[in-house]
């Protein structure tokens, strides 16, 4: 067996360049490239290695490390977790900036590889620039913070260690049950050290995503329980798409007549007009889905982690409802004492061959509820229905977009508004980041999604909905999208601050305080942001519209543009919110207060607590 002498950094890059995955009979590099900002902790050694492979592993220059991580997460989501991007950051604050995006990828079970600089292993130059010093533990530093937000974590202290570490990181990112971010810390001196690596380590390898078959005894038990159901329901989560189980889900629902509701991550598992699609469930859901959930006696929870926005903090279901957890991850399958079917969603659904049919009156009830919800959404999104609103903007874009266009949104008011009001035109076209509810994901995530979309479906657009608060938090990847010819259509819906949190503040009896710009106590003047001018300054095309009625022409201009196009529109901060479809959500409210309004709101909030399931 031959050997080749390489630096640690060179070996890492060469290994990644030779890892492939087969998708629908076509081989792709499993690593689509990376996002990087260079500093002294990664430029001299890792940068040198990446330059030699710049054609195989294209490196996108980031503007902010957190944005790079968001883009990598969105890329992995668009590829249904079958491909990933790496992020490289320098030692110290550059790497620390990746913490939030690593947490987002961890919460959403998304693959992302972080190759981050670290302090010198020899400690001869200690303390170095940007190094934290822990007096009692010299091995402890910023990179250790990633242990909480990584599925795989390692610090390379000898070049030979990557022979074990890299395959382990790759296997973690491609494992359906353990999928998530992998972190590899690279001390600056170790990056440049050499080792005689076996040539076989760099041989081309083609990976495939494992499909875990369920234990048939679990399947038999699940079918037996399902056959007792008088009011069954399916909750379809993001795992349905990641397993490629959309066809199996639809066939199972059609065969059994069981109504299907979607989680936020599971939006676009079914097209809007499928007769058994009963809408999104939970706090940001629909009256139709929540009405079905409230009465359901047996619930098939497929590919969902049952987050509180899905379960209404566990008030959305009857106390005696029984849950069948179908999930490739044991941790998620077993939540709230569910009957578990642990395995790939597509295989599990195909294995559940049954002659069971939901009672006709139950299916009819679900369809009737959905019809009422459709009527509400039609009126809620109608231009001219009250002041300019998120819902009206969403409705106009929904009406005008192509069925395969990809929609991206994240924290703030838009996840609720998009989830409730968007009518899915085609499968897998909605990316609402709400696993970590992370402001700033929208534009950076749109950039990453667009990179993936150009590889998957290049003729379609990536459409980003963002509020003014998220835009101000992180907007620099508008410039990234222009630099890399990754056109997006970005709608900036300006409601004058963090309006959805102001709404929560008001709904809990509190006065508006420090959320809307107008209510910021330390703001000595009121200055509006010219989002159009700002976007143009970063190379985008942009315009401002004064009302939803002007959106149609503006959106058509954006569609025809050859670069990222930003449309800014003011919406009302207080009126125009989607008021229906909400389940209860547990938030902490003051038990003691001098405010009558806060006390009354607390008592009203607590009045729904008896509906909360206590873990069973």
Which CATH number does the domain housing residue 163 bear?
3.40.50.970
- Is 291 inside any structural domain? yes
CB-based contact 48:71 (threshold 8 Å): no
Q: Would you call 29 helix, strand, or coil by DSSP?
A: strand
- 32 and 74, same domain (yes or no): yes
231, 291 in Cβ contact below 8 A? Answer: no
Please indicate, yes or no, whether residues 473 and 356 belong to a single structural domain of this protein. no
Tell me, yes or no, whether 581 lies in a domain.
no
Q: Which residues contact 51 (CB under 8 A, 6 or more apart)?
A: none
Query: Do 273 and 199 have their domain in common?
Result: no
Instruction: Please state the φ and ψ torsions of residue 601, each to the nearest 5 degrees.
Output: -65, -40
**88 lies in the same domain as 221:** no
β-bridge pairing 322-327 and 260-262: unpaired
Residue 321 DSSP class: -
Report the pLDDT averaged over residues 61-83: 98
Among the candidates 374, 403, 427, a domain finishes at: 374
Q: What is the model's pLDDT at position 526? A: 86
| 207-243 pLDDT per residue, tens | 999 999 999 999 999 999 999 999 999 999 999 999 9
What mean pLDDT do residues 573-577 have?
Answer: 94
Same domain, 178 and 40: yes
Whether 236 and 370 share a structural domain: yes
Q: Are 476 and 533 in the same domain?
A: yes
Query: The domain containing residue 596 runs over which residues?
Result: 586-616
Q: Given 175, 207, 239, which residue is the final one in a domain?
A: 207
Residue 292 lies in a domain: yes
Per-residue pLDDT reduced to its tens digit, 441-463: 999 999 999 999 999 999 999 99
The alpha carbons of the chain give a radius of gyration, in whole angstroms, of 25
Distances in whole angstroms, Cα of residue 252 to Cα of each of 85, 349, 358, 368, 431: 34, 7, 12, 21, 24
Tens digits of residue pLDDT in 502-544 = 999 999 999 999 999 999 999 988 888 999 999 999 999 999 9
Instruction: Give the confidence band of 343 by pLDDT, cuts at 50, 70, 90.
Output: very high
pLDDT at position 616 is: 56
The string of pLDDT tens digits covering residues 282-319 is 999 999 999 999 999 999 999 999 999 999 999 999 99
Phi, psi (5° rounding) for residue 520?
-85, 115
Same domain membership, residue 350 and residue 232: yes
Say if residues 223 and 251 touch (Cβ distance below 8 Å).
no
* 332 part of a folded domain: yes
DSSP assignment of 267-300: TTSS-TT-TTEEEE-STTS-HHHHHHHHH-SEEE
Q: How far apart are CA 93 and CA 97, in angstroms?
A: 6
Backbone φ/ψ region at 237: left (φ over 0), alpha (ψ -120 to 50), beta: beta
pLDDT band at 615 (very low <50, low <70, confident <90, very high): low
* pLDDT tens column, 118-143: 999 999 999 999 888 899 999 999 99
Q: pLDDT digits over 578-589, tens only?
A: 999 999 999 999
Do 474 and 416 share a structural domain? Answer: yes
Same domain flag for 531 and 591: no
The total number of structural domains in the chain stands at 4
Q: Which of residues 345, 374, 403 is at a domain's end?
A: 374
Condensed to tens digits (0 to 9), the pLDDT of residues 357-385 reads 999 999 999 999 999 999 999 999 999 99
Position 138 in a domain = yes
Specify whether 155 is located in the same domain as 302: no
Average pLDDT over residues 74-103: 97
């Amino acid at each position: 067996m031959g050997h080749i002498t390489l630096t640690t950094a060179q070996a890492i890059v060469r290994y990644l360049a030779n890892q492939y995955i087969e998708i629908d009979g076509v081989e792709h590099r499993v690593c689509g490239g990376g996002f990087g900002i260079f500093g002294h902790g990664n430029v001299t050694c890792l940068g040198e290695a990446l330059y030699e492979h710049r054609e195989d592993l294209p490196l996108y220059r980031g503007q902010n490390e957190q944005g790079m991580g968001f883009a990598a997460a969105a890329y992995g989501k668009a590829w249904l977790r079958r491909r990933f991007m790496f992020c490289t950051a320098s030692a110290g604050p550059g790497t620390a900036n990746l913490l939030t995006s690593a947490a987002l990828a961890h919460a959403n079970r998304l693959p992302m590889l972080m190759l981050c600089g670290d302090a010198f292993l020899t400690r001869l130059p200690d303390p170095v620039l940007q190094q934290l010093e822990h007096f009692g533990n010299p091995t402890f530093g910023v990179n250790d913070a990633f242990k909480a937000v990584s599925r795989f974590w390692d610090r390379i202290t000898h070049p030979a260690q990557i022979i074990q570490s890299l395959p382990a990181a790759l296997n973690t990112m491609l494992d359906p049950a353990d999928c998530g971010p992998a972190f590899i810390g690279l001390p600056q001196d170790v990056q440049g050290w050499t080792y005689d690596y076996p040539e076989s380590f760099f041989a081309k390898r083609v990976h495939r995503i494992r499909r875990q078959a369920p234990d048939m005894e679990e399947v038999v038990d699940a079918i037996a329980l399902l056959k007792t159901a008088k009011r069954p329901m399916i909750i379809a989560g993001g795992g349905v798409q990641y397993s490629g189980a959309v066809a199996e889900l639809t066939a199972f629902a059609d065969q059994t007549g069981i109504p299907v509701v979607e989680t936020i991550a599971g939006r676009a598992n079914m097209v809007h007009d499928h007769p058994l699609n009963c809408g999104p469930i939970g706090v940001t859901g629909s009256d139709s889905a929540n009405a079905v959930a409230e009465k359901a006696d047996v619930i098939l929870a497929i590919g969902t982690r049952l987050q509180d926005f899905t379960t209404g903090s566990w008030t959305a279901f009857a106390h005696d409802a029984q849950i069948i957890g179908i999930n490739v991850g044991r941790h998620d399958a077993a939540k709230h004492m569910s009957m578990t079917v642990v395995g790939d969603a597509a295989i599990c659904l195909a294995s559940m061959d049954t002659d069971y049919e939901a009672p006709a009156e139950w299916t009819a009830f679900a369809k009737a509820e959905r019809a009422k919800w459709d009527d509400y959404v039609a009126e809620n999104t109608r231009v001219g229905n009250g002041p300019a609103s998120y819902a009206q903007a969403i409705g106009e874009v929904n009406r005008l977009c192509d069925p395969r266009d990809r929609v991206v949104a994240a924290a703030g008011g838009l996840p609720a508004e998009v989830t409730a009001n968007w009518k899915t035109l085609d499968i897998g076209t909605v990316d609402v980041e709400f696993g970590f509810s992370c402001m700033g994901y929208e534009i950076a995530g749109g950039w990453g999604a667009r990179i993936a979309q150009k590889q998957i479906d290049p003729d379609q657009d990536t459409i980003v909905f963002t509020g003014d608060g998220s835009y101000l938090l992180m907007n620099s990847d508008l410039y990234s999208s222009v630099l890399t010819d990754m056109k997006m259509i970005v709608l900036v819906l300006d409601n004058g601050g963090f309006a959805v949190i102001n709404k929560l503040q008001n709904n809990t009896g509190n006065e508006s305080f420090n959320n809307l710009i107008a209510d910021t106590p330390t703001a000595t003047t009121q200055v509006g942001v010219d989002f159009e001018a700002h976007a143009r300054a970063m190379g985008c095309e942009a315009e401002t519209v004064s009302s939803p009625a002007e959106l149609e022409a503006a959106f058509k201009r954006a569609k025809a543009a050859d670069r990222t196009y930003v449309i800014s529109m003011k919406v009302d901060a207080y009126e125009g919110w989607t008021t229906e479809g909400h389940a209860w959500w547990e938030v902490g409210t003051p038990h003691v207060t001098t405010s009558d309004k806060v006390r009354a709101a607390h008592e009203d909030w607590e009045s729904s607590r008896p509906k909360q399931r206590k873990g069973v």
